[in-house]
Chains A and B, each alone.
Chain A
Amino acid sequence: MNFLKIPWLELQLLLPLVGAVVAGSFSSAVRASRWTLGFMIVGMFISLGGLAANVIVQEPGRLVLGQFRLDGLVLPMLPVLSVLHFLSHLGTSKSRMTSQHCVAGLVSMGLTSAAVSCQSPWLFVGILYGMILLPLWDLKAQAQPIRGFVVYMIPVLALLALGWWSYDPLSRIWSMGFLGLALTIFGGIAPFHGWLPGLFQRASLGTAMLLVLPMVEVVGVLRFLIPQAPEWVLKVASVGCLVTAVYSAGMGIIQSDPRRFLAFLVLSQTSLVMFAVMMQSATSITAALCLWISVSISLAGLGFSIRALEDRFGRLSLREHHGHYDQVPGLAIGFLMAGLASVGFPGTIGFVPMELLVSSSAQQGLEFSIPLAFTSVLNGIAILRAYFALFTGKRPVTSVSLRMTLSERWGIVLIALLIFGAGWFSPSIVESRHRIAEQLLIGVGGRAAPAAELPIP
């Protein structure tokens, strides 16, 4: 079969669902986990294959089922999403692995792939409904209270439904308002962020990260909101995102629980992506699209290290020094690498996107650049504080070896290669993202609906 004719998107969407059925059929968690890992690895190769094929053809993919398309916006994101799910599965310890966890991971992979490639608002809304159900399932399975999550998510679902129901091309202000507010709550923009730290604390860390890190709300904003929303709405939203980024960065510094620290760091970084999107300039959207990739990968790496630590030592506190460096130096290095990459440390995947973001904010005025620089400062401090708390201090004596397992080792190697490798390949990524950003902006103000025909990088 011709490489270019392979139905990559169909495979990308169907494989996780088939995998979920297969994994769910096993009663043994070990077998289910192995099959899940296999499906995820194949999924990664399929996403890379789709990327390669579309880059060769240089045309947006055809419409699949009338609703999904591999376009320039989504192409680099599918491999990133696959890696995210792969890392999440790899980071789950054998003792906590269940068939349900495997099914949830594969379903999440299918849903997020569908959400980013989806071209119609109503289907996007439906997929978001599905994505919201997964953490609920996880909280229920772990006998954790769901009220806090539900209180925030019911308005999201209601607003999404209202936005879809009131959608009218001639009078779009209400539907845009409903959709925008729903995505704002879903994106955790202050003051609607209360569900996110709670979810990180109560749900399994993998589930929480798989809901937040794909940042599907960014796709929603780019595809359905930016081309039609009035400019003042986006301006107000951008200020809200910036305030959230600074606030979360500050909150991250004073946390005593690594999960809450991670939640606020994730919130701060995802708000930066949303902020960049809302600024509506080619440079800022380029920055947003690059940050989207770098933040997803680096924070997935940070979460991976924290999960591995929790598997060994249980819940830790950042108020004491635990001295785990000597026991798990690989995790310590992974933690530091991923954390610093998320704040744009030179040489890492985050450097160029962060530079682009700060530079694009300067075009709007220094009143935007200064809080951004401040956010970067605070996040950097929070990361090193957490690193010192977790990995320095008096070395605890244990009777068994706590060295990294083989799967953790592979996870850290993959994270390291992505963080530094993608840092080197930043120019080509930026170039392709900039073309997409320019194309997206052609549609601003409702002149066109360009997102459906975005060029291939």
Chain B
Amino acid sequence: MPASDLVLTIAGLLIVCAPVFLLVTFFATFLLERRLGEQTISRLIQGVIAVGLLAGLVAAIRMIFQGLAHYEIELGDWVITPRYHLKFQFVLDPLSLSYVLLTLVLAATIGAFSTRYLHRERGYNRFFVLFAIFLTGMVVAALSDTVETLYAGWELVGLSSVLLIAFFQERPAPPRNGLRVWIVYRVCDAALMLAAILMHEINGAGDFDHLVGNHAWPAHDPLLIGPHFAWLGVLFLIAAAGKSALVPFSGWLPRAMEGPTPSSAVFYGALSVHLGVFLLLRVSPVLDSSAWLAALVVALGLGTSAFAYLAGRVQTDIKSALAFASLTQVGVIIAEIGFGLRYVALVHLLGHACLRTLQFLRAPSLLHDHHQLENAIGTRPRDPAPEWEQHLPASVQRALYRFSLERGYLDSLLDRVIARPFVRVFGAMDRLERSCDRLLNGPDDPDHPAPREGGGRGGDTV
């Protein structure tokens, strides 16, 4: 292996191994029943991110100077059978390096902010364990060169996001909202899993290289992509829509604001909400396989953007307003991808993620400043509505207001169409099974009571 290759391989592996080391450390302390102090955790986080960042910068500089646009790091075949091939492989290219550097920079910012923000908070350790899982997931997903590697990172990001939404677990709302987000995530995970299988069936492997041929992202060999890739594209789009809160899955985004501010910033302002965008950028050759698929991407992006703009206009808390503002931009980025503007989308993503992180972090103190300002001037400054809104008829304004206030009725639509029928059907089956059980075994013994009835209503936590 030439020296330059060795440097790139080591740098790439260091980026991945650094957060994994953090996870292993936390796991070891759990096994040994030890508790790390705040300062130790803080130093560990800073050290690990610094190592990853340094390795990422070295790799980026090396690639720029060598004129390399694509470098693969193979970890070998994980599982090989004649009909199945599971490979873990990473790639260094403009997309992966940009996203991983963005991840590390923002994680460093959030890490430094959180050590102070959560100082002496119960759950300090828990926050950073979840943060480490998130970081590992993001890095693995960003550098992945196979759909299985991406799926592994994708799942880690999903789990850590949900557990952080439920971080303030003594209150009833955060776990309930966390569960709701988890349901959406699981649906989009299933779409990604099916996409991975379809990719294996079409290509015989899950490598993204099979989509681009010998070209470096975003270029690809058009001969490799046929119209049969359209369904694969649809599955990727569903997965991305769930992760990035695109319509009709947008309802979970404001619910995700239950978590602590740093996690809201890093997940829903910056990184997690862009992971769907990243996925579409990574598989962008598939989107070129059919014109209607590209049109669908554009429509979804613009639809989400319009919805988020309207919903954001009526939000009364700063985090939800910022979340919908993020979603507006995410929709625009998705539309850019649909139009084929891959580099524009990437630059837009990077800039937007940085801006939104800073806005989220500034949000608590901004409110404080705002209140001081209001007290000083003795009145509340008014933000005039855009002029075009005033030209709309009053009935349309009212309808739009209700639509925005109810967040497009998306949550109630999903409840009515999917959740309630599901609970009703399985609840009826449960009641039937319990009746049969009572018929056979008789009523429950009061000394050893059977659980309470009423599974049919599904319980409060469904």
Binding site for B on A (CB under 8 A): 142-145, 147-148, 151, 194, 197-198, 201-202, 247, 250-251, 253-257, 259-260, 281-283, 286, 315, 317-321, 323, 325-326, 330, 333, 340, 345-347, 351-352, 355-356, 358-360, 362-363, 366, 369-370, 373-374, 376-377, 380-381, 384-385, 388-389, 391-395, 409, 413, 416-417, 420, 426-427, 430-431, 434
State whether the Cβ of B37 lies closer than 8 Å to any Cβ in chain A: no
Contact B197 A358, beta carbon cutoff 8 Å: yes
B221 to chain A, nearest CB (A): 25
5 residue pairs of the A-B complex, CB under 8 angstroms, read A148-B440, A260-B455, A286-B81, A346-B151, A358-B197
Specify which chain B residues have a CB less than 8 angstroms from the CB of A358 in the assembled complex. 193, 197
Query: Given A321-B461, A426-B78, does the pair A370, B437 have CB atoms closer than 8 Å?
Result: no
Q: For chain B, residues 136 to 168, give those with C-beta under 8 angstroms from any C-beta of chain A.
A: 148, 151-153, 155-156, 159, 162, 166
B81, B430, B436, B442 — which one has the most chain A CB atoms within 10 A of its CB? B81
B84 to chain A, nearest CB (A): 5
Binding site for A on B (CB under 8 A): 27, 30-31, 33, 77-84, 86, 122, 148, 151-153, 155-156, 159, 162, 166, 169-170, 172, 174-176, 178-179, 182-183, 186-187, 189-190, 193-194, 197-198, 200-201, 422-423, 425-427, 429-430, 433, 436-437, 440-442, 445, 447-452, 454-456, 458-462
Contact B84 A283, beta carbon cutoff 8 Å: yes
Question: Which single member of B155, B166, B193, B423 contacts A373 (CB below 8 Å)?
Answer: B193
Q: From B436, which residue of chain A is reached at the shortest CB distance?
A: A194
Query: Given A260-B451, A373-B194, A377-B190, does the pair A320, B460 have CB atoms closer than 8 Å?
Result: yes
Contact B445 A363, beta carbon cutoff 8 Å: no
Question: Which single member of A254, A320, A347, A391 contacts B426 (CB below 8 Å)?
Answer: A254
Interface of B is mostly: helix
Q: From B182, which residue of chain A is reached at the shortest CB distance?
A: A384
Question: Which single member of B79, B156, B450, B458 contacts A254 (CB below 8 Å)?
Answer: B458
Contact A355 B170, beta carbon cutoff 8 Å: no
Q: From B33, which residue of chain A is reached at the shortest CB distance?
A: A409
Q: From B427, which residue of chain A is reached at the shortest CB distance?
A: A254
Contact A420 B27, beta carbon cutoff 8 Å: yes
Query: Given A147-B441, A369-B197, does the pair A359, B84 have CB atoms closer than 8 Å?
Result: yes
Contact A197 B84, beta carbon cutoff 8 Å: no
Q: From A391, which residue of chain B is reached at the shortest CB distance?
A: B169
Question: Which single member of B78, B169, B186 contacts A380 (CB below 8 Å)?
Answer: B186
Contact A360 B83, beta carbon cutoff 8 Å: yes
Contact A359 B197, beta carbon cutoff 8 Å: yes
Contact A384 B436, beta carbon cutoff 8 Å: no
Bound CA–CA A427/B78 (angstroms): 6
Contact B170 A250, beta carbon cutoff 8 Å: no
Specify which chain A residues have a CB less than 8 angstroms from the CB of B122 in the assembled complex. 326
Contact A321 B172, beta carbon cutoff 8 Å: yes
Question: Which single member of A355, A356, A376, A430 contacts B190 (CB below 8 Å)?
Answer: A376
Specify which chain B residues have a CB less than 8 angstroms from the CB of A247 in the assembled complex. 429
Specify which chain A residues have a CB less than 8 angstroms from the CB of B86 in the assembled complex. 352, 355
Not counting A148-B437, A198-B437, a sample of 5 additional A-B residue pairs whose C-beta atoms are within 8 angstroms of each other reads A194-B437, A362-B197, A362-B200, A384-B162, A413-B31
Question: Which single member of A250, A318, A360, A417 contacts B461 (CB below 8 Å)?
Answer: A318
A455 to chain B, nearest CB (A): 16
Bound CA–CA A434/B156 (angstroms): 28
Question: Which single member of A202, A352, A388 contacts B448 (CB below 8 Å)?
Answer: A202
Q: From A416, which residue of chain B is reached at the shortest CB distance?
A: B31
Contact A392 B169, beta carbon cutoff 8 Å: yes
A159 to chain B, nearest CB (A): 19
Bound CA–CA A417/B156 (angstroms): 19
Bound CA–CA A377/B80 (angstroms): 26
Bound CA–CA A355/B80 (angstroms): 12
Q: Which 6 A-B pairs have the closest CB atoms?
A: A257-B451, A346-B152, A392-B169, A148-B440, A319-B459, A388-B175
Contact A321 B84, beta carbon cutoff 8 Å: no
Bound CA–CA A394/B168 (angstroms): 10
Specify which chain B residues have a CB less than 8 angstroms from the CB of A346 in the assembled complex. 151-153, 155-156
